[in-house]
Amino acid sequence: MTELHWLTASEASRAFAAKTLSPVELVQHLLKRTESLDPKLHAYIRLDAEGALDAARTAEKEIAQGRIRGPLHGVPVGVKDIFDVATLPTTCHSQVLVDNIAKTDAVSIQKLRQAGAVIMGKLSTHEFAIGGPSFDLPFPPARNPWNPDYHPGGSSSGSGSGVCAGLFPVALGSDTGGSIRNPASACGIVGHKPTYGLVSRRGVFPLSFTLDHVGPLTRTVADAAIMLDALAGHDPEDPGSSATQSRHFGRMLDRGVRDLRIGFVRHFHETDMPAHPEVTAGLEDVSRVLQAEGAEVRTVHLPHLDEFRGINRVILSSEAWSIHAPWLREQPGNYGKLARQRLLPGAFMSAGEYIGAQRRRLELIAAVEDVLRDVDVLLCASSMDPSCRLDDVPETNRTYPRQARAPFNVTGHPALAMMAGLSSGGLPVSVQFVGRYFDDATVLRVAAAYERATPWHKKHPPIG
């Protein structure tokens, strides 16, 4: 049998149903593993051991009574510490909110509890999902299980690190400029940013109202689909929520790619922002694999990567400043240095610049939509480089912006990042798949076909 800490949500669910494993046994095992590994990784800000065991006992009783709520029943979930979990602090990894106790659950937490999931605790992030990795905050930054001297991506850093290390099979993250897909890329797992508006953000501390997304980090594509099934749904109290009927996101996972057209956005990593050679080689291998599986892969062109990134920066900076301005004026010293540096430019953005960015955004959306009329899914880079050392500030500052994730926060299309190989240094390289609005199921279908055809999802970090 697979070691308990490497069980996927799907495998754990089947074991619970077969009575070969109980939710309590799995949670107890993961708590022991966390006790052993988390002092090296710092994935957690707040481990809720008693709450998790209580929820696991409840799930176990319900299973014994034949009351199984679905494939997440009894499954442990880690939660990025910008989501409200009732009675636990929502600190956003910041001194500003270090004593902020949540009174109610975020909508996404409510939905996971309704599905029978077990909330394990609150996970490290960059400060307010923007300032990191930082060492001047109340909690240390999370580290990469493939090599704890290296960063795990961000801002959903604890989510990526914990899933990768086998501290929990699935986790919740948020994504404003790539913050689900960056940890997935750095840690070699699956990170899915759903279509904008598909998952409620109510009860999640905002960074940018029109760019923020909520989504899962998992070890397999099937688990990403299971998580999205639980999370998706219209929330009339979230102004960005869409009244869509999209459901059953895993329905096409086994269909393969034989009838699909894949648009390869090569210029992102070849000319717009030349990638590390091992990333380029990995992307070409993804293309070859999908063609061998029967897909048609053709080169397509979008606007220059810098255009998307510039628009993302103006909108994010302006909206983040509108959220943080009072605290930055009243208690700037309670912010870490990086968060201050990244939030303050919003004070100097004019209304004209913000409106101009939103107008150009519509043109960029139209350009992506035009390409997606001729292809089913886009293939492109996620990160342009493997992870670097956590303490190498110049290299971190150089490589963090070298990515092709921000375009799809600007446009709101569904996007998924996953492992596409290991570098010569033993660190993951990645690929990104992007689909049409509310066609997350096809993005997951392509990712699942690639996953089946390659060994990467079976690789685990050498951490124990």
- The catalytic residue positions are 80, 155, 179
- Strand order across the 213-218 sheet: 44-47, 118-123, 76-80, 170-175, 213-218, 190-193, 415-422, 428-435, 377-380, 261-264, 296-299
Strand ranges for 278-437 from DSSP E? 296-299, 377-380, 415-422, 428-435
What are the backbone angles phi and psi of residue 192, rounded to the nearest 5°? -115, 120
The contacts of residue 362 (CB under 8 Å, 6+ apart) are none
Closest CA to 198 of 154, 240, 250: 240
Under 8 Å between Cβ of 238 and 202:
yes
CB atoms within 10 A of CB 243: 9
Under 8 Å between Cβ of 181 and 215:
no
* CA–CA distance, 423 with 428 (Å, rounded to integer): 6
* CA–CA distance, 337 with 17 (Å, rounded to integer): 49
Q: At 430, which amino acid appears?
A: S
**Burial of 17 (C-beta count, 10 Å sphere; 0-12/13-18/19+):** middle
The contacts of residue 126 (CB under 8 Å, 6+ apart) are 93, 132, 133, 134, 141, 154, 155, 157, 179, 338, 339
What are the backbone angles phi and psi of residue 367, rounded to the nearest 5°? -65, -40
Peptide bond into 407 cis (omega under 30): no
The contacts of residue 11 (CB under 8 Å, 6+ apart) are 2
Helix, strand or coil for residue 415? strand
Under 8 Å between Cβ of 191 and 173:
yes
Residue 170's H or E segment, with its range, is: strand 170-175
